[in-house]
């Protein structure tokens, strides 16, 4: 359901950014979701990433670099590291310098923010130990071939007449907030495992069932259980996105559940508008952007997809909404900023701290 265009970054590696939000735990009557809070950690493991977490913050990258202990900027080349260690590892691999690294202390040198430049051999060894993979480092030529056209399009879009310099009207805090939202949304869409443990699937399925609208009377609608299975991956992405927002951690566990259940369907529908073609009433490149699914065609018709999940009535309302969104010519940046607005909507049921929601 999601567009997956990557927000341009300086080095084009995937970065997990997020504050160390406490794991989400659903009330006992809805079954504990300690398992759900482990989704991010499980995903990193599936992708071969070595994820170090702060105590009590399951599935969220540690604030500290797993190599030297400096402030971490996220997952780089498969390991949780700072900018300095990321750059060191990239240079070591690109120029094959690591082949000449030697240690005069029997490979026992401590690696921290003070000593990390003393012994390159021990620093590089620790990088690989915490999960950083040399094969994930692209050469300058490979990076240009892979990302050159994307950067060019980004520069053209930034300088086009249709995109005035609105940043000059934003405060520093507003710019940082937009950056954090973009990172969180991109990472939640770009990260997914090839398989889930059965217990995680069950908890996600329970959450998906809680987000479904009242089943329509139309016989064309799929049973709730089938719809819930279809929604597991989108629900998972929304949970990951919410947990990467530091404001989300301000709420109680009950309010977190209420916000997620109340906003999930709306976020999925709203986020899909950039893939929807109002002329053909179909999603362009729908499943082919998701590495978990393979399609022979680049087009996924909208009608049978939504009809099977929601039935005729909700299907027609959804189509009308998507057409109106397309008529407004809302770009992906605006769509991205709509997601937290929907998530923190104060009209959700069973919200305890309503004033906090309104404040955000």
pLDDT digits 0-9 by tens, 189-239: 665 443 444 554 555 555 555 544 444 444 444 444 445 555 677 777 788
**What's the average model confidence in pLDDT over 161-183?**
70
Distance CA 316, CA 253 (A): 35
Distance CA 16, CA 124 (A): 21
Q: Decide if pLDDT at 132 tops 80.
A: yes
3-class DSSP state for residue 284? strand
Continuous segment of H or E residues that includes residue 282:
strand 282-284
Give the pTM: 0.45
Query: What pLDDT score does 353 carry?
Result: 87
Q: Which of 41-45, 93-97, 208-212 has the lowest mean pLDDT?
A: 41-45
pLDDT tier at 50 (50, 70, 90 boundaries)?
very low
| Distant-in-sequence, close-in-space partners of 7: CB < 8 Å, separation ≥ 6 | 182, 183, 186
CA dist 269 → 6, 231, 265, 300, 356 (Å): 20, 12, 6, 15, 25
pLDDT, greater one: 67 or 319: 67
**What's the average model confidence in pLDDT over 75-92?**
90
Q: Which of 9-18, 231-240, 269-278 has the lowest mean pLDDT?
A: 9-18
Is the Cβ–Cβ distance between 286 and 16 less than 8 Å?
A: no
Query: What pLDDT score does 275 carry?
Result: 66
- In degrees, to the nearest 5, what angle opens at C-alpha 115 toward C-alphas 110 and 117? 120
CA dist 181 → 46, 151, 164, 214, 339 (Å): 24, 20, 21, 31, 9
Region label for 79, one of left (φ > 0), alpha (ψ between -120 and 50) or beta (otherwise) = beta
Q: Which CATH superfamily is domain 165-360 in?
A: Retinoid X Receptor (1.10.565.10)
**What's the average model confidence in pLDDT over 332-338?**
76
Q: What is the mean pLDDT of the chain?
A: 67
Q: Which residues pair with 301 in a beta bridge?
A: 282
pLDDT, greater one: 202 or 176: 176
């Amino acid at each position: 359901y999601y567009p997956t265009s990557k927000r341009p970054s300086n080095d084009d590696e995937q970065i997990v950014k997020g504050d160390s939000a406490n794991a989400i735990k659903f009330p006992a009557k809805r079954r504990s979701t300690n398992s759900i809070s482990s989704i991010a950690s499980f995903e990193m493991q599936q992708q071969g990433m070595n994820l170090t977490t702060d105590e009590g913050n399951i599935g969220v990258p540690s604030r500290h670099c797993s190599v030297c202990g400096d402030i971490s900027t996220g997952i780089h080349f498969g390991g949780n590291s700072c900018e300095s260690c990321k750059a060191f590892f990239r240079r070591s691999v690109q120029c094959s310098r690591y082949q000449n690294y030697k240690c005069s202390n029997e490979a026992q040198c401590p690696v921290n923010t003070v000593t990390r430049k003393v012994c390159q051999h021990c620093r590089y060894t620790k990088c690989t130990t915490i999960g950083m993979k040399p094969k994930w480092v692209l050469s300058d030529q490979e990076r240009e071939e892979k990302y050159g056209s994307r950067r060019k399009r980004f520069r053209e879009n930034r300088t086009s007449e249709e995109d005035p310099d609105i940043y000059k009207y934003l405060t520093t805090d507003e710019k940082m907030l937009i950056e954090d939202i973009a990172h969180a949304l991109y990472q939640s869409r770009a990260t997914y495992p090839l398989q889930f443990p059965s217990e995680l699937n069950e908890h996600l399925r329970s959450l998906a069932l809680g987000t479904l609208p009242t089943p329509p009377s139309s016989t064309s609608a799929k049973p709730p259980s089938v719809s819930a299975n279809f929604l597991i991956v989108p629900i998972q992405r929304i949970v990951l996105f919410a947990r990467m927002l530091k404001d989300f951690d301000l709420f109680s566990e009950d309010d977190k559940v209420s916000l997620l259940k109340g906003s999930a369907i709306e976020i999925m529908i709203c986020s899909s508008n950039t893939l929807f073609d109002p002329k053909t009433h179909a999603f362009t490149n729908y499943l082919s952007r998701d590495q978990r699914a393979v399609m022979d065609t680049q087009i996924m018709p909208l009608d049978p997809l939504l009809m099977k999940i929601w039935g005729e009535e909700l299907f027609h309302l959804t189509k009308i909404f998507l057409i109106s969104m397309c008529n407004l010519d809302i770009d992906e940046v605006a769509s991205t900023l709509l997601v937290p607005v929907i998530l923190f909507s104060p009209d959700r049921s069973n919200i305890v701290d309503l004033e906090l929601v309104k404040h955000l």
